[in-house]
Structure 1
Amino acid sequence: MSGSEYLISELRRVRESMGLTQESWGERVHFSAKHVGSIERGERPALPNYLGMVDKVFGTGFMKFYREFVIGENDPVWFREFVDYEARASMIRLFQPLVVPGLLQTEAYARALLTSYDVVGPAQDSAIATRLGRQEILNRESEPCRLVAVLDENVLHREVGDAEVMREQLTVLAVASTRPNAIVHVVPTTTGAYPGLDGPFAIATVEARGVGYVEGRLGGKVVESPDDVAELDRDWESIRAHTLSSGQSRELIMRMAEKWT
């Protein structure tokens, strides 16, 4: 039994042990009975917003279990090590020229992406739960991670899902850029060729040292060598030199969100 399967079974067991119906449970945690039922049947992933409310209302420890045993179970083996660094990072700098980064994706956008990769059914739900669960590092009450994200403007133009999915995703992206611990920059299409065209990467600051992750078509690579991380730092600064300011980037993102209406 996977961690996510055990989590679902425990949510159902605890509810039943309290003698609560899905309706009464849902009323207490401010989710619909339909939502509760779909989670317990494995049709919908149990996400941090739901688990956090359950813990708050009933004094359970589902978020702790989620962090320790569910997050990362659906990530590729080569990415799991970086997910661990990511969870402990004080700052993450990332560059993504192709799609909205996982740390900023909406559920609908993530689902559309996974569908395009032929990840469907329970595997898709588990992968979404894992991906959205990673976003907790930006929302934690104690020392939330600082995020600096750079996107190529083409990410804003590439339709993932449909217009409604894109409008929601870009609106969420713009709102995220107003948070005190998040900055979003966009490299405009007028830039032409620049170092970022080599592909996406991320640099996590963990205990005062940098750890990188470079994505590839057949897998990814965790970068820990100081010399290699320094090279990623240089690439990062070169890319940043081509970006719009955070304010200009936010305005562009909002204009594009309106385009998808």
Structure 2
Amino acid sequence: MSGSKWLIGELRRLRESAGLTQEAWGTKLHFSTSHVGAVERGERPALPDYLHAVDKVFGTTLLAFYREHIRGEWAPSWYRPFIDYENRATLLRIYQPNLVPGLLQTEDYARALLQALNVGPGELDPTLAARLDRQDLVTRAASPCRLAVVLDESSLRRCVGGGEVMRDQLKALAEAGDRTNVQIHVVPLATPAYVGLLGPLVLAAVEGRTIGYLEGHLEGRVIESPEAVTDLEVIWEAVRAYALPCAQSQELMMKVGETWT
């Protein structure tokens, strides 16, 4: 049985054991009766906002179950092999030459990007919810993951979702850089060709070791070989050497944000 099917059954069991109709259950959670029914019939996924409401009202831990067992089901297929390492990482180093990384995307930016990547209508909302929920790794109050990001300036200037979406996204990026556990560096567009142009990479510090990840069109490659990881760390340091310090990077993000109208 998949995690999603177990969760649907558990939600129905909890409601029935509480002696509540779908309407009464929805009233307590501030969700419509039709929403409750669609979740219990498996026609609509149980997403983090719904599960958070259940946990808050009934003292359950369903959101934690979702994050451990279900979130990966709705992650893009090419990223699923890396989800477990990401969840357990104490430090994530991310380089992205083309886009804002998922852990820093606004909802509107993420939605526009997923639509551009041809995520189907039936999968869009749960995929989007899973992506946004992953950001809890960085924003949670207890032991947040440290995040070091290097972006190419082209990722700030590539239009995803329109000018307003981009303006809000760059504002959110600049604000994320104010967090004590987040560092964001930008490689200026005027930088000559450098090794980072070969593609994005992620390095995760997990339980005393480093795991690498490389993204492709059809699948993601998890890199566990110590020799290969060392090579990726050399590339990371080479890329970061081209990037501006955090303060100057933040100024650049805000300046580019002002150009989006």
After TM superposition, the score normalised by the length of structure 2 is: 0.85
Aligned length: 254
Residue 84 of structure 1 and its aligned partner are, at CA, apart by 0.3
Q: Deviations over 1:209-253 (max 9, x none)?
A: 110001123322111111111111110111111101101111111
1:108-119 to structure 2, matched below 5 A, reads 108-119=108-119
**Which moved further from structure 2: 240-249 or 17-26?**
17-26
Q: Secondary structure at the match of 1:70?
A: helix
The question of 1:25 aligning with 2:29 is answered yes
Where structure 1 has 5 or more consecutive residues not aligned to the other structure, the ranges are 27-32
Residue identity in the other structure for 1:164: E
CA contact (8 A) 1:46 1:129 kept: no
**Which moved further from structure 2: 64-73 or 51-60?**
51-60
**Residue 199 of structure 2: aligned partner:** 199
Q: Secondary structure at the match of 1:222?
A: strand
**Residue 155 of structure 2: aligned partner:** 155
Residue 14 of structure 1 and its aligned partner are, at CA, apart by 5.1
Q: Deviations over 1:115-161 (max 9, x none)?
A: 11211212111211221222121123332110001111011111101
1:1-261 to structure 2, matched below 5 A, reads 3-4=3-4, 7=7, 17-18=19-20, 20=24, 22-26=26-30, 33=31, 41=38, 47-48=47-48, 51-75=51-75, 79-261=79-261
Q: Deviations over 1:73-109 (max 9, x none)?
A: 0335553231101110110001000111111112211
Compared with structure 1, are the counterparts of its residues 63 and 21 closer, same or farther at alpha carbon in structure 2 (3 Å cutoff)? closer
CA contact (8 A) 1:79 1:222 kept: no
**Which moved further from structure 2: 130-139 or 238-247?**
130-139
CA contact (8 A) 1:152 1:187 kept: yes
**Residue 29 of structure 1: aligned partner:** none
Residue identity in the other structure for 1:73: E
CA contact (8 A) 2:78 2:218 kept: no
Q: Distance in 2 between matches of 1:126 and 1:4?
A: 12
**Which moved further from structure 2: 165-174 or 95-104?**
165-174
Compared with structure 1, are the counterparts of its residues 48 and 76 closer, same or farther at alpha carbon in structure 2 (3 Å cutoff)? closer
CA contact (8 A) 1:214 1:222 kept: yes
Residue 62 of structure 1 and its aligned partner are, at CA, apart by 1.8
After TM superposition, the score normalised by the length of structure 1 is: 0.85
Q: Deviations over 1:150-187 (max 9, x none)?
A: 11101111110112221221111111111011111110
Q: Distance in 2 between matches of 1:217 and 1:172?
A: 27
**Identical residues among aligned pairs (%):** 51
Compared with structure 1, are the counterparts of its residues 190 and 123 closer, same or farther at alpha carbon in structure 2 (3 Å cutoff)? same
Compared with structure 1, are the counterparts of its residues 125 and 238 closer, same or farther at alpha carbon in structure 2 (3 Å cutoff)? same
**Which moved further from structure 2: 103-112 or 202-211?**
103-112
Residue 256 of structure 1 and its aligned partner are, at CA, apart by 2.0
Q: Distance in 2 between matches of 1:37 and 1:231?
A: 53
Residue 58 of structure 1 and its aligned partner are, at CA, apart by 2.8
Where structure 2 has 5 or more consecutive residues not aligned to the other structure, the ranges are none
Q: Secondary structure at the match of 1:148?
A: strand
CA contact (8 A) 1:147 1:182 kept: yes
Q: Secondary structure at the match of 1:190?
A: coil
Residue identity in the other structure for 1:65: F
What is the alpha-carbon root mean square deviation over aligned residues?
Answer: 2.7
Q: Distance in 1 between matches of 2:253 and 2:37?
A: 37
Residue identity in the other structure for 2:102: G
